[in-house]
Chain A
Amino acid sequence: MIRLEGASVEQDGVFLNIPYDAKFERLYLAYIAGIIGFRLTPHTALEIPDSTRRLDRIQYLLYRCRYSIHDLSRVQVSRAAPRTPRFNMPFELGLAVSWSTQHPGQHFWFVCDSEPHRFLRSISDLAGTDINVHHGTIEGVMRELCNIFVRHSERPDVGFLMKLYRRLRAAIPKIQQRAGSRNLYEPRMFADICFAAKEWLE
């Protein structure tokens, strides 16, 4: 059992449970730009160093964040043999559901997918749950983030978030070049991308 001894819940923290593949890069950037646009802090399992037991760190990060978003749009069977379904995203969603049930009012989880009713076939236990459908588009992600969050002091809309996304995307080649990285899913790149989005916002 993971305990949050000494660590407080990050009130503005959002645990992002997403697939790390090349086809998802655009949506990955969209989630980062959108979450930063709401003045929240995204967190992912990418921050987890290899030296620690991955599951412990995932739980620690997830439980520290007040919110979690679980994107199930890539829960599919892998192409490489042996063909295996990807269980990480639904598994982490299960951890979040369990944590929020045990700690009412402390953690809020949301499910996103690219198709409206697919989850009823892949995880029928979620029947009766309202999920957020982004149809696999950047604009869809921004729209659904606006359906998930609202901030009274400054209310970002889809147009504002799209502009932030485009600006962030324009900065990516330079950030990668300076970091000597080809992969957006590296821990350092994730942190740098988040900071770049924040820098654009300020």
Chain B
Amino acid sequence: MRHPVVLEGPGVTKEELAESLGVTPERQAIIREIIAELKEREKTREKRKSRQPARTRR
């Protein structure tokens, strides 16, 4: 087994990634909107789950 490559530094930022891959600001905004919606949905789902009473054995 080869040893893993140790990555230095914090890695790429979102801006650097977008520039490197050529994601235009308009497309960035669309994707941001989609992910924000999914994050919101995930939060709601988690809240709903935490509100449910724990099942107890009879």
B30 at the interface (CB under 8 A from A): yes
Cβ-closest chain B residue relative to A177: B34
Query: A148-B5, A178-B34 are known contacts. Are A41 and B20 too (CB-CB below 8 A)?
Result: yes
C-alpha gap A52/B11 in the complex (Å) = 30
A194 near B21 (CB under 8 angstroms)?
Answer: yes
B residues 1-53 touching A (CB-CB < 8 Å):
1-2, 4-12, 14, 16-18, 20-23, 27-28, 30-32, 34-35, 37-39, 42
Asked whether, in the complex, the Cβ of B35 is within 8 Å of the Cβ of A199, the reply is yes
Beta-carbon contact of A151 and B11 below 8 Å: yes
Chain A residues contacting B32 (CB-CB under 8 Å) are 199
Interface with B: A22-30, A94-102, A115-123, A166-174, which one? A166-174
Interface size on A, residues (CB 8 A): 41
Q: Does A8 belong to the interface (CB within 8 Å)?
A: no
Residues from chain B with Cβ under 8 Å of A150 in the complex: 4-7
A192 touches B23 (CB 8 A): yes
Does residue A185 face the partner (Cβ distance < 8 Å to B)?
no
Interface residues of B (CB under 8 A from A): 1-2, 4-12, 14, 16-18, 20-23, 27-28, 30-32, 34-35, 37-39, 42
**Other A-B pairs beyond A188-B27, A198-B17, 18, CB < 8 Å:** A12-B11, A12-B12, A38-B7, A40-B11, A41-B17, A43-B20, A130-B2, A147-B2, A152-B7, A153-B11, A167-B42, A171-B34, A171-B35, A174-B38, A175-B31, A192-B31, A195-B27, A200-B39
